[in-house]
């Protein structure tokens, strides 16, 4: 083997396993889902009926699907900004006490919920929110307020899921923000301070532009995680209820596929979800990448 041949082959050997796994475990299933979405098949029967776009048509007419799609939009509107801005706020505050003994305590305690399993978080929160005798209601009653039905109230269920999801997963973004802030050279902050820039000015004119690559990364990944992370909380806390008020597209997909074993409609939901995520991600790249400042 010549050295040039090895040099040409080496990159393929390095990326080969990763590419193979992406093809087998990502693109393969997407293609399979696309195929399943246009057939009526139970995976066992030798009979596979081609139904064209019927699964998509019946999906669009399904009021539970419509409600799940609307809920997904609400989850994104509430949780994506919250998962980006509030962790940044925490990160800025922790950065302000960097080097002190309390930095680790704050960072560790705020990150702690992230390492819990969703099922554990859901069970713990269902105890706290129990409308009959949960801790939250006990506190409300103690202060003279009436008890709330929390996640069993159709008007509050979605917000309760948002609260638990946020509590469970904001820690990762917070760590990313902390790391980004730590990479901003102190000399720049110091120079700005000497030039008379106040804390707000230093943050918006120095730090934010320099951490914009992280901001872009977080904004893209948070959309995925908001769509995905909610499923675990919904399953344990509300089961999609009451009357579908806290369901989202992926929970609806899970129900169709793994509760009802309707693989055609489930695959159609998957394809619709992929299309939505793709559109959002493209929009983020189109709008966001121009505003990212790489050093």
Partner 1 sequence: MVEISRRGLLAGSAAVAAATVVGARPALSSDATIEISSIWGPDKPFQKVVDAFNALKTGVTVTNRFDGDYETATAKALAGIAAGKPPAMMTTGWKFGYYARRTLGARDLNEIDSEKAASIIANFVPSLMPLVTIDGAVIGLPWAMSTPITFINSALWQEAGLDANLPDYPDTDWLYEAARKLDAALKGKHATYRSALALSNNEWTSQSFIQNAGGYIIDPDGKLALNSAEAVRGMELFCQPAHEGLWTPVSGKEQDAAFESGALAICTTSSTRAASFPFGAAKAITARFPGIPGQARKMNSGGNFLAVYARNDEQAKASLAFLEFCASAEGQKIWSEVGYLNTSVHDIPLINDFMKPAAGQLQDGLTAETIWPGKRGLEGQTIWRKWVSRMLMKEVDVQAGLKGAHDELAAVLQDA
CB of 243 or CB of 274, closer to partner 1? 243
> In this structure, are residues 237 and 151 in contact, taking their beta carbons and an 8 Å threshold?
yes
Distance separating alpha carbons of residues 179 and 192, to the nearest angstrom: 21
Judged by CB under 8 A, the residue of 54, 221, 225, 262 near partner 1 is: 262
Q: How many CA atoms lie within 13 A of 190 on its CB side?
A: 3
Distance separating alpha carbons of residues 257 and 264, to the nearest angstrom: 8
CB of 169 or CB of 256, closer to partner 1? 256
CB of 170 or CB of 263, closer to partner 1? 263
Q: How many CA atoms lie within 13 A of 75 on its CB side?
A: 33
Which part of the chain contacts partner 1 (CB under 8 A), choosing from 76-84, 87-95, 121-129, 271-279? 121-129
**Least distance in angstroms from the C-beta of 259 to partner 1:** 5
Binding residues for partner 1, total number by CB under 8 A:
27
Is residue 47 within the footprint of partner 1 (CB under 8 A)?
no
Is residue 146 within the footprint of partner 1 (CB under 8 A)?
no
Which part of the chain contacts partner 1 (CB under 8 A), choosing from 120-128, 184-192, 215-223, 280-288? 120-128
117 Cβ contact partners less than 8 Å away, ≥ 6 residues apart: 232
> In this structure, are residues 223 and 273 in contact, taking their beta carbons and an 8 Å threshold?
no
Is residue 212 within the footprint of partner 1 (CB under 8 A)?
no
CB of 155 or CB of 195, closer to partner 1? 155
Is residue 242 within the footprint of partner 1 (CB under 8 A)?
yes
**Least distance in angstroms from the C-beta of 239 to partner 1:** 7
Distance separating alpha carbons of residues 276 and 60, to the nearest angstrom: 14
Is residue 148 within the footprint of partner 1 (CB under 8 A)?
no
Is residue 4 within the footprint of partner 1 (CB under 8 A)?
no
CB of 18 or CB of 44, closer to partner 1? 44
Distance spanning both ends of the chain, measured CA to CA:
41
> In this structure, are residues 264 and 36 in contact, taking their beta carbons and an 8 Å threshold?
yes
The tokens describing 146, both together, are 């009436």
Is residue 113 within the footprint of partner 1 (CB under 8 A)?
no
Closest CA to 271 of 248, 246, 253: 253
| Angle in degrees, 0-180, between the axes of helices 101-111 and 63-96, rounded to the nearest 10 | 170
Q: 3-state DSSP helix/strand/coil percent for the chain, to nearest 5?
A: 75, 0, 20
Judged by CB under 8 A, the residue of 33, 219, 255, 273 near partner 1 is: 255
**Least distance in angstroms from the C-beta of 137 to partner 1:** 8
Which part of the chain contacts partner 1 (CB under 8 A), choosing from 12-20, 88-96, 240-248, 280-288? 240-248
Please say whether the dihedral angle defined by the alpha carbons of residues 89, 92, 97 and 102, taken in this order, is positive or negative. positive
**Beta carbons within 10 angstroms of residue 33's beta carbon:** 20
Judged by CB under 8 A, the residue of 15, 24, 135, 258 near partner 1 is: 258
Is residue 214 within the footprint of partner 1 (CB under 8 A)?
no
Binding site for partner 1 (CB under 8 A): 42-45, 64, 123, 126-127, 130-133, 147, 149, 152, 154, 239, 241-244, 255, 258-262
């Amino acid at each position: 083997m010549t050295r040039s041949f090895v040099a040409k082959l080496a990159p393929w050997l390095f990326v080969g396993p990763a590419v193979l796994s992406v093809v087998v475990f990502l693109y393969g299933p997407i293609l399979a889902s696309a195929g399943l979405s246009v057939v009526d098949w139970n995976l066992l029967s030798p009979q596979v009926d081609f139904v064209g776009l019927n699964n998509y048509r019946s999906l669009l007419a399904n009021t539970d699907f419509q409600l799940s799609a609307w809920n997904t939009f609400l989850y994104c509107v509430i949780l994506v900004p919250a998962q980006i801005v509030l962790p940044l706020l925490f990160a800025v505050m922790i950065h302000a006490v960097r080097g002190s003994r309390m930095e680790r305590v704050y960072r560790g305690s705020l990150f702690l919920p992230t390492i819990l399993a969703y099922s554990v978080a859901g069970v713990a929160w269902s105890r706290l929110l129990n409308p009959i005798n949960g801790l939250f209601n006990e506190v409300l009653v103690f202060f003279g307020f009436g008890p709330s039905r929390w996640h069993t109230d159709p008007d509050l269920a979605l917000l309760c899921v948002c609260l638990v999801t946020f509590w469970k997963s904001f820690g990762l973004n917070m760590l990313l923000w902390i790391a980004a802030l730590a990479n901003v050279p102190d000399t720049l902050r110091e120079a700005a301070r000497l030039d008379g820039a106040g804390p707000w000015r230093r943050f918006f004119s120095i730090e934010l532009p320099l951490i914009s690559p992280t901001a872009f990364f977080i904004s893209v990944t948070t959309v995925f995680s908001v769509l995905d992370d909610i499923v675990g909380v919904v399953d344990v806390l509300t089961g999609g209820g009451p009357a579908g008020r806290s369901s989202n597209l992926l929970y609806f997909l899970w129900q169709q596929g793994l509760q009802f074993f309707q693989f055609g409609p489930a695959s159609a939901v998957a394809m619709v979800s992929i299309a939505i995520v793709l559109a959002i991600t493209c929009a983020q790249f189109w709008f966001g990448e121009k505003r990212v400042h790489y050093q």
